[in-house]
Amino acid sequence: MNHGAHFMAAIAYVWNERKQVKTPVRNKVIPLASEEQLLLVELVRSVSAMRTETVMQTVKEVLKQPPAIAKDKKHLSLEVSMLQFFYAYVQRVLNEFILKNPNLESKKDQRELQDVTHKIVEAIGTIAGSSLEQTTWLRRNLEVKASPQIVVDGTSLESDVEDLMLTVMEASSFTPSVYSVHALTLLAEVLAHLLDMVFYSDEKERVIPLLVNIMHYVVPYLRNHSAHNAPSYRACIQLLSSLSGYQYTRRAWKKEAFDLFMDHTFFQMDSSCVSHWRAIIDHLMTHDKTTFRDLMTRVAVAQSSSLSLFTNRDAELEQRAMLLKRLAFTIYSSEVDQYQKYLPDIQGKHYTCTSHMFTGMQQ
């Protein structure tokens, strides 16, 4: 098609002009397309000369060398608008393909789809970890950089990033990781459902190594309860919550989630994160018979520890209170009467623990 790049650039320009003024969900990485934008998708699909292969190649040309149009538009990014259009276009094409071919009969095609998904998720994971830094060169321990984390709305990504970058760079010596929060939010929005669709039931084991790598980037954000890390914390807890709903992912996050739950800073979170943690703890304790017993054992051990002259009394009382709070949060996160059969044991541990605490406070 002659002048295909200019045609697609014009589509991207109009796409930007027809975007929704407001979206129902803030900080959504991929904004929902408006009705007028979806009409653009159908328009391109109706052009006989613009087959799917042609559209892909033309989009690539626009991204590589965007035509110089609309120079008066300060915040117009053809690349962002082009990618948003292409995302909606691919969704439309895939939906039609799936309706016509509900199952991929070719093992080769299925494996290629899985490999592409794996590479894309790994690439997004690398971006998600761009606000982390290695603590030592000998080990892969990561921690959150002491730099600003920019949160922008997907509907005005290019303008918000440009303005905020200038502001932050003027006020700080740190280079902000602009897209790390967006990458984490994107994973939270689509990863769990995407992997469940791409990998069939007898192939779920292939997902675990990929999720282990993603958790390598996620856990450091969840360990950091500082105010500047709040955007990443919210995105990561949403991601972990979505993954926890799929039983086959459990091996990738069980240990890390339990360790985070037992950390003394666990309750230092934004109120919007509580519902996600409730879902995680419910899945953590419900899907096997050992995790809840492990928690109960820890409470019992804390009770059996006797206060003595050689024990830090305040620290031990704090430890008992911490475990009781986690036991209470576990019950709060569960279904009604889920732990009814454990009620006598729970009541006994609660009575023993609180009586020890009052005794210790009086001494």
- What is the distance between the terminal CA atoms of the chain, rounded to a whole angstrom? 87
Contacts of 181 (CB under 8 A, 6+ apart): 27, 131, 149, 150, 151, 231, 232, 235
The Cα 90–Cα 71 span in angstroms is: 28
Per-residue 3-state assignment (H helix, E strand, C coil) for 192-247? HHHHHHHCCHHHHHHHHHHHHHHHHHHHHHHHCCCHHHHHHHHHHHHHHHHHHCCH
Which pLDDT value is given to residue 339? 85
In 10 A of CB 101, how many CB atoms?
10
Mean pLDDT of 157-186: 60
What pLDDT digit, counting tens, does each position of 301-348 carry? Answer: 765 555 454 556 677 778 888 888 999 999 999 988 888 888 888 887
When mean pLDDT is compared across 12-26, 153-167, 280-294, the lowest value belongs to 153-167
> Counting beta carbons within 10 angstroms of the beta carbon of residue 301, is it exposed (0 to 12), middle (13 to 18) or buried (19 or more)?
exposed
Which pLDDT value is given to residue 112? 86
What pLDDT digit, counting tens, does each position of 123-155 carry? Answer: 999 989 988 988 776 656 889 987 766 665 555
When mean pLDDT is compared across 18-22, 269-273, 292-296, 341-345, the lowest value belongs to 18-22
Mean pLDDT of 183-210: 90
Q: Mean pLDDT across the chain, nearest whole number?
A: 81
What pLDDT digit, counting tens, does each position of 31-49 carry? Answer: 788 889 999 999 999 988 8
Which pLDDT value is given to residue 358? 57
The Cα 20–Cα 17 span in angstroms is: 9
Which pLDDT value is given to residue 19? 79
The Cα 255–Cα 294 span in angstroms is: 12
Q: Which of 47, 124, 52 is nearest to 91 (CA)?
A: 52
Contacts of 262 (CB under 8 A, 6+ apart): 298, 326
Q: Which residues of 123-152 are buried (b: 16+ CB within 10 A; e: fewer)?
A: ebbebbbbbbeeeeeeeeebebbebbbbbb
What pLDDT digit, counting tens, does each position of 232-271 carry? Answer: 999 999 999 999 999 999 999 999 999 999 999 999 999 9
Q: Is 316 helix (H, G, I), strand (E, B) or coil?
A: helix
When mean pLDDT is compared across 5-9, 68-72, 187-191, 319-323, the lowest value belongs to 68-72
Which pLDDT value is given to residue 201? 84
Distances in Å between the Cα of 157 and the Cα atoms of 88, 129, 141, 180, 270 are 17, 19, 31, 13, 24
Which pLDDT value is given to residue 168? 47
Residue 160 predicted with pLDDT over 60: no
> What's the CA dihedral at 291, 296, 299, 303 to 10 degrees?
-150
Which pLDDT value is given to residue 314? 72
Domain boundaries defined on the chain: 1-102, 104-260, 292-362
**pLDDT bracket for residue 357 (50, 70, 90):** low
Question: Highest mean pLDDT range out of 157-171, 175-189, 194-208, 341-355?
Answer: 194-208
**pLDDT bracket for residue 228 (50, 70, 90):** confident
When mean pLDDT is compared across 207-221, 289-303, 320-334, the lowest value belongs to 289-303
Which pLDDT value is given to residue 281? 95
When mean pLDDT is compared across 69-78, 84-93, 315-324, 334-343, the lowest value belongs to 69-78
**pLDDT bracket for residue 202 (50, 70, 90):** confident
Which pLDDT value is given to residue 50? 86
Which of the pair, 117 or 307, is modelled with greater confidence? Answer: 117
Residue 361 predicted with pLDDT over 60: no
**pLDDT bracket for residue 100 (50, 70, 90):** confident
Question: Highest mean pLDDT range out of 147-161, 271-285, 291-305?
Answer: 271-285
Residue 96 predicted with pLDDT over 50: yes
